[in-house]
Structure 1
Amino acid sequence: MEKQWIISISREYGTGGHKIAEKLAQIFDFPVYDRELLDNVFGDEANVEEWRECDEMPAPLAFSKKFSGTKNSSEYTLAKRQFNYLRKKANEGGSFVVVGRCSEYILKDYAGLIPIFILGDEDVKVKQVMESRNFTEKEAKAALARHNRLRKRYHNSYCEGKWGDSRCYDICINSSRLGFDGTVKFLEEYIRERMKQDQNNKN
């Protein structure tokens, strides 16, 4: 059986994290789990669309990972179902790329995990959001602040480590420096080196 590799991409909004994950998945011929997770988790359930607004949304402020909190909230229910699905896929032994969903923490016990955090310069992120969403500069800045605030709260609701803390990842990379293609190339080289070293250790 081939070695299992799980590439976990955490990202700030506006850094191209989803596109980078998709490109790495294409390069290594791995499935990618991001927005598609809802369809995978809920299957043929008729109400799947009702859950989309809860995807990667933080639990209510009353929730704490240390106490019982509001565990019947839609946000909590969806998060736990996604976490369980990711563990199930990891237990099956296949390799894949996953975007967000606290995956660097949820899957930390799997030897082939490669956790990556993608950040970016504010002006570059604003420009990216303006172009991709057809937003004004003011709208883009507001979207950046909102999405990153929610991602941070979501992550920190369920994880021991803090969102974006370099100690939680193999690599933290600023995609504004190398651009999309350069970032993909750099990460590809790192991942291939990890795979190479793992193979050498077996020989």
Structure 2
Amino acid sequence: MNKKTVITIGREFGSGGHEIGQKLAEELGIKCYDKELLALAAKDSGLCEELFINHDEKPTNSFLYSLVMDTYSLGYTTSYVDMPINHKVFLAQFETIKKLADRESCIIVGRCADYALESNPHAISVWITSDISARVDRIKRIYQLNDSKTADLIQKTDKRRASYYNYYSSKKWGEAKGYDLCLNSGKLGIDGTIEVIKKFIEMRERQF
């Protein structure tokens, strides 16, 4: 990787998105931000890190959000005053993601990063899916759960992530047309998925 590149990774639960992000970052010599983004956004915003942990990729039902984002899109400085806490958390992460992308090459996992950076010419959005059987096997191994509890956890986590993404972004979670690259880690394997992403980065760099 010779030029500045920011890779965002959207992922189904159990598809290995976090591991792919971490390993890819190591191979490229850049940083991967997943849970690390929460602490960074807390530091940047002055809000308590616990708030970010409690609201991490969780959906909201407040319809005040549209008013908040209208103000944000017009370029006004966000003061976080008189704003629902979940929107404070989202906007703080949104701003931190933009700052990271402006500052360095990196990988950002989840948290609507592809939406935050959709106008950034250096950003590549990747979606990681996998066969349900492979996802079940992976989650069972990591969390030591039985089949029933594993399937329930996968369903609930995917539903939560989808609700969060669909609410805060203008796109649909997991819809292929919303991403630059969609890969099945169950077919390719973790290392194979990483190799395809690296090849995609190389091919894209030739266009600049």
Counterpart for residue 98 of structure 2: 87
Cα offset, 1:3, TM superposition: 3.4
Number of matched residues?
194
Give the Cα separation in 1 of the matches to 2:33 and 2:151.
27
Cα offset, 1:191, TM superposition: 1.5
**Do structure 1's residue 142 and structure 2's residue 143 form an aligned pair?**
no
Superposed CA RMSD:
2.1
Q: Structure 1, unaligned stretches of length 5 or more?
A: none
Cα offset, 1:23, TM superposition: 1.0
- Of the three residues 125, 133, 143, the one matched with 1:115 is 125
**Do structure 1's residue 100 and structure 2's residue 110 form an aligned pair?**
yes
TM-score of the two chains, using structure 1 as the length reference: 0.87
Give the Cα separation in 2 of the matches to 1:13 and 1:76.
24
TM-score of the two chains, using structure 2 as the length reference: 0.85
Counterpart for residue 63 of structure 1: 63
Once the two structures are aligned, what percentage of the paired residues are identical? 30
SS of equivalent to 1:43: helix
- Quick check: 2:51–2:89 contact (8 Å CA) kept in 1? no
Deviation readout 1:108-165 (Å, 9 max, x if unpaired): 1111111000011111111111110111111100000000000000001111111111
Give the Cα separation in 2 of the matches to 1:66 and 1:79.
13
Q: Structure 2, unaligned stretches of length 5 or more?
A: 70-81
Change (3 A) 1:83 1:137: same
Change (3 A) 1:65 1:43: closer
SS of equivalent to 2:83: coil
**Do structure 1's residue 8 and structure 2's residue 18 form an aligned pair?**
no
Give the Cα separation in 2 of the matches to 1:87 and 1:18.
20
Counterpart for residue 170 of structure 2: 160
For 1:86, give the aligned amino acid.
Answer: I
